[in-house]
């Protein structure tokens, strides 16, 4: 294991910025196809790093012609498509700051974010996004120009066309790369606003470059990967989210990873099966749905289901030993046999048979699901970080289920007296835009970032996140309870896909649980339930389904004491979707939204 320090990483990036690092990457890997996307006819199209650099040179010229200069902000509202990467990079070559905002942003949110960051240019994908901007155009006075990627004959004359921007005479990128400094802001990531108005997290060129050195070193130390050039990655999470921005954009700029652009999350499973990613990241719900899909498919044949479950039971302790390098030759041979007759086919079915690094992040994943994926040969691990830490704080390839890994290279972590996780390193953000008081609350005088998460650390330095400090449930009896741990356990009930524990100032803890679509469809087939009675809404009212969920509840709560355990659940049928009043774009619970939307159902749980 490396002994590289934070200062070592600072020394590595001295005198650089992201444009300079990009050009060094082009010099090394210019012929690699780094951008891949589906054309209108369904065929694959691609661009090499050299071709992307040519686009960057033309777009930099166009942006400079619009007056974009060092210190300016450029807002982008674009799905995961190839044009995003060259545009974001061109803004950096101008010395300006690209600000990606969620594609679901309503007009009032657009107005708030633009007025908060003071952007002078907005680059949008299509007319639907343009309509939202136009509806508040008079209220966003800093915007001087709007450009559109997909234009039509009806596109207003005062809206710039991407086709015109990309036609500019190219600048000399080597000259323009000198503009920005390490201290300049490379991007502003807006928090999801689950506990108040979104805050603009300022990440500098130094933050991003330092993090790239840190995660690159961590992954080289802990895997067989020596060079990330050409490693395949499916980019489907929002570019406004720090995890996708790091792994789906900055990795490509710095390491020449091969990005497959997936503009709609619904297209992701098919694209994963086609592209066979080497590095795959997902929020827990993505992994949970894959798990539920496989287990539901296998359950159609009870004999095969039993055989597969027996194989999982036999292989799980072996994989744990293999992870620690403690398995005997006989045990490895047993796992290889089970892999050949069962696990290998499952990995191929979901497109994860060539994954070298799999990461779950943004929220806790049930330990059992992480363990299941590792058992079938998908090297899934859990990472931990936040926008304020440039996405990364801890990660270990040798995953320990229930833990989020050890501190990344160069990162210091410690647990405060009240249990809060504190961290320090070159990846810690510059501050919240325009909010010095909030910044001072988050970063103390010694440079420690206060994460707001409660955690514990074991003797090996593995971190376990207990819960968000602000989300701990305090019951009427004064008991502090972690909802995240309860929710992870509830999601291991076979029929349950989503859960929200409740109990603030209540006599006991209860929960809302949402049926998993795949698992409930398989249950309906198995039990001969058809037609309208087989919808998730109808199944949520089915007495047999409710009885099965309640039976699962007893088992799920076995490891919790009486004061902590969920006593009652309300079964719901309609899946909670990301980027709504109930979930953030990365499927984190918006607890206030859930509590408001299901107030009647919650009241019924506590009715006498």
Window from 164-168, 343-347, 484-488, 545-549 with minimum mean pLDDT = 484-488
Same domain, 294 and 259: no
Same domain, 447 and 311: yes
Count of domains observed in the chain: 3
- Checking DSSP bridges between strand 566-572 and strand 509-515, what pairing results, if any? parallel
Question: How sure is the predictor about 192, in pLDDT bands with cuts at 50, 70 and 90?
Answer: low
Does residue 544 sit within a domain? Answer: yes
pLDDT value at residue 231: 95
Has residue 482 got a pLDDT over 80? Answer: no
Same domain, 446 and 547: no
Q: What is the mean pLDDT of the chain?
A: 91
pLDDT value at residue 448: 95
Does residue 404 sit within a domain? Answer: yes
Does residue 112 sit within a domain? Answer: yes
Rounded to whole angstroms, the Cα distance separating 210 from 13 reads 7
Question: How sure is the predictor about 586, in pLDDT bands with cuts at 50, 70 and 90?
Answer: confident
Has residue 299 got a pLDDT over 90? Answer: no
- Domain boundary pick from 265, 295, 322: 265
Contact 221, 2 (CB under 8 A): yes
Does residue 273 sit within a domain? Answer: no
Same domain, 26 and 132: yes
Window from 25-34, 262-271, 473-482, 514-523 with minimum mean pLDDT = 473-482
CATH code (residue 502): 3.30.300.30
Averaged pLDDT for residues 77-104: 96
Rounded to whole angstroms, the Cα distance separating 290 from 295 reads 9
- DSSP letters for 42-108: S-EEEEEHHHHHHHHHHHHHHHHHTT--TT-EEEEE--S-HHHHHHHHHHHHTT-EEEE--TT--HH
Question: How sure is the predictor about 330, in pLDDT bands with cuts at 50, 70 and 90?
Answer: very high
- Domain boundary pick from 434, 468, 502: 468
CATH code (residue 55): 3.40.50.12780
Does residue 151 sit within a domain? Answer: yes
Model pLDDT for residues 351-365, shown as the tens digit of each residue: 999 999 999 987 788
Rounded to whole angstroms, the Cα distance separating 169 from 372 reads 53
> Which residues have CB under 8 Å from 124's CB, separation 6+?
76, 77, 78, 130, 133, 146, 147, 148, 149
Same domain, 182 and 296: no
Share of the chain above pLDDT 70, in %: 97
Same domain, 498 and 444: no
Does residue 35 sit within a domain? Answer: yes
Has residue 194 got a pLDDT over 70? Answer: no
Same domain, 254 and 323: no
What are the backbone dihedrals phi and psi of residue 528, each rounded to the nearest 5 degrees, phi first?
70, 25
Window from 49-63, 66-80, 455-469, 540-554 with minimum mean pLDDT = 455-469
Same domain, 213 and 85: yes
- Domain boundary pick from 207, 238, 265: 265
pLDDT value at residue 247: 93
Does residue 272 sit within a domain? Answer: no
pTM assigned to the model: 0.85
With residue 281 as reference, give the H or E element that holds it: strand 279-282
Same domain, 195 and 302: no
Q: Is 353 left (phi over 0), alpha (psi -120 to 50) or beta?
A: alpha
Has residue 195 got a pLDDT over 70? Answer: no
Question: How sure is the predictor about 293, in pLDDT bands with cuts at 50, 70 and 90?
Answer: confident
Does residue 346 sit within a domain? Answer: yes
Taking CA atoms, 582 is separated from 572, 596, 600, in Å, by 13, 9, 16
Q: Which residues of 388-427 are buried (b: 16+ CB within 10 A; e: fewer)?
A: bbbbbbbbbbebbbbbbbbbbbbbebeeeeeebbbbbbbb
Same domain, 108 and 81: yes
- The residue segments making up the domain with residue 542 are 472-605
Same domain, 487 and 452: no
Taking CA atoms, 521 is separated from 7, 299, 492, in Å, by 54, 11, 17
- DSSP letters for 514-561: EE-HHHHHHHHHHTT--GGGGSHHHHTT-HHHHHHHHHHHHHHTTTS-
pLDDT value at residue 560: 85
Same domain, 533 and 570: yes
Q: Locate 198 and state its tokens.
A: 């979104």
- Checking DSSP bridges between strand 185-190 and strand 473-474, what pairing results, if any? unpaired
């Amino acid at each position: 294991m490396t002994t590289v320090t934070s200062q070592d990483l600072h020394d590595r990036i001295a005198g650089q910025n992201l444009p300079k690092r990009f050009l060094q990457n082009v010099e090394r890997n210019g012929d690699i196809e780094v951008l891949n996307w589906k054309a209108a006819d369904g065929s694959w199209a691609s661009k090499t790093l050299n071709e992307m650099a040519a686009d960057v040179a033309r777009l930099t010229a166009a942006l400079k012609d619009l007056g974009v200069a060092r210190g300016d902000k450029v807002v982008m509202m674009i799905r995961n498509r190839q044009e995003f990467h060259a545009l974001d990079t061109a803004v950096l070559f101008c010395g300006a700051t690209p600000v990606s905002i969620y594609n679901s942003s309503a007009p009032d949110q657009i107005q708030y974010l633009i007025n908060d960051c003071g952007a002078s240019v907005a680059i949008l994908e299509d007319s639907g996004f343009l309509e939202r901007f136009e509806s508040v155009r008079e209220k966003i006075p800093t915007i001087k120009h709007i450009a559109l990627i997909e234009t039509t004959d009806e596109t207003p004359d005062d809206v710039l066309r991407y086709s015109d921007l990309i036609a500019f005479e190219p600048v000399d990128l080597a000259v323009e790369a000198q503009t920005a400094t390490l201290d300049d802001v490379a991007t502003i990531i807006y928090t999801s606003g689950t506990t108040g108005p979104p805050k603009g997290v300022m990440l500098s060129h130094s933050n991003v470059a330092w993090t790239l050195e840190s995660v690159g070193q961590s992954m080289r130390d802990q895997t067989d990967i020596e060079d990330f050039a050409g490693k395949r990655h499916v980019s489907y999470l929002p570019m406004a989210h720090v995890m996708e921005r790091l792994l789906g954009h900055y990795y490509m700029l710095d390491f020449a990873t091969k990005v497959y652009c997936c503009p709609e999350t619904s297209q992701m499973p098919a694209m994963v099966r086609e592209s066979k990613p080497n590095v795959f990241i997902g929020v827990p719900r993505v992994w949970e749905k894959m798990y539920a899909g496989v287990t539901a498919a296998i359950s159609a044949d009870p004999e095969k289901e039993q055989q597969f479950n027996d194989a999982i039971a036999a292989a799980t302790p072996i994989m744990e030993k293999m992870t620690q390098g403690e398995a005997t030759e006989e045990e490895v041979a047993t796992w290889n046999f089970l892999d050949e007759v069962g696990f290998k086919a499952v990995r191929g079915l979901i497109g994860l048979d060539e994954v070298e690094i799999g990461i779950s992040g943004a929220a806790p994943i049930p330990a059992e699901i992480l363990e299941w994926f590792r058992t079938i040969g998908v090297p899934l691990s859990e990472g931990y970080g936040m926008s304020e830490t440039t996405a990364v704080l801890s990660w270990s390839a040798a995953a320990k289920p229930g833990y989020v890994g050890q501190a990344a290279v160069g990162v210091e972590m410690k647990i405060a007296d009240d249990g809060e996780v504190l961290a320090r390193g070159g990846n810690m953000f510059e501050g919240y835009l325009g909010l010095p008081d909030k910044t001072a609350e988050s970063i103390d005088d010694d440079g420690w970032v206060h994460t707001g998460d409660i955690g514990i650390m074991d003797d090996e330095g593995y971190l376990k996140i207990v819960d968000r400090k602000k989300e701990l449930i305090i019951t009427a009896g004064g008991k502090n309870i972690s909802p995240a741990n309860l929710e992870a356990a509830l999601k291991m009930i076979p029929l349950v896909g989503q859960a929200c524990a409740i109990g603030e100032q209540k006599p006991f803890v209860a929960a809302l649980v949402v049926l998993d679509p795949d698992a409930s469809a398989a249950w309906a087939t198995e039990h001969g339930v058809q037609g309208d009675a087989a919808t998730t809404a109808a199944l949520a009212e089915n007495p047999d389904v409710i009885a099965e969920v309640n039976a699962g509840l007893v088992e799920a709560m076995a490891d919790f004491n009486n004061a902590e355990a969920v006593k009652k659940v309300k079964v719901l049928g309609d899946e909670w979707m990301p980027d709504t009043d109930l979930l953030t774009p990365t499927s984190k619970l918006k607890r206030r939204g859930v509590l408001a939307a299901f107030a009647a159902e919650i009241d019924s749980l506590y009715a006498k």
